[in-house]
């Protein structure tokens, strides 16, 4: 692990390569943080309301 962090510090990306997983393909928008939080809060409220009805 130390070798990796030395490579990061030296910007040696042959050792400290940057990888992106399959989830990167799921990104379809870049939103402001406030919009993300608002959307999460709205979704949580809908979920809790639906659970209350069960």
Range of the domain at 43: 30-54
Q: Is 51 part of any domain?
A: yes
Q: Is 18 part of any domain?
A: no
Q: Is 38 part of any domain?
A: yes
Q: Is 49 part of any domain?
A: yes
Q: Is 19 part of any domain?
A: no
CB contact at 8 A, 16 and 7:
yes
DSSP 3-28: HHHHHHHTT-TTTS-----GGGGG--
Q: Is 48 part of any domain?
A: yes
Q: Is 3 part of any domain?
A: no
Task: Please tell me the predicted confidence (pLDDT) of residue 31.
Answer: 96
Helix ranges (DSSP H) in 1-54: 2-9, 33-52
Give CA–CA dist 43/53, Å, rounded: 16
9-45 pLDDT, tens per residue? 999 989 988 777 777 778 889 999 999 999 999 999 9
Q: Is 46 part of any domain?
A: yes
């Amino acid at each position: 692990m130390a070798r990796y962090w030395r490579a990061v510090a030296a910007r040696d990306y042959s050792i400290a390569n940057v990888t992106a997983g399959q989830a990167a393909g799921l990104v379809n928008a870049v939103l402001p943080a406030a919009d993300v939080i608002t959307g999460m809060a709205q979704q949580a409220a809908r979920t809790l309301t639906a659970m209350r009805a069960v």
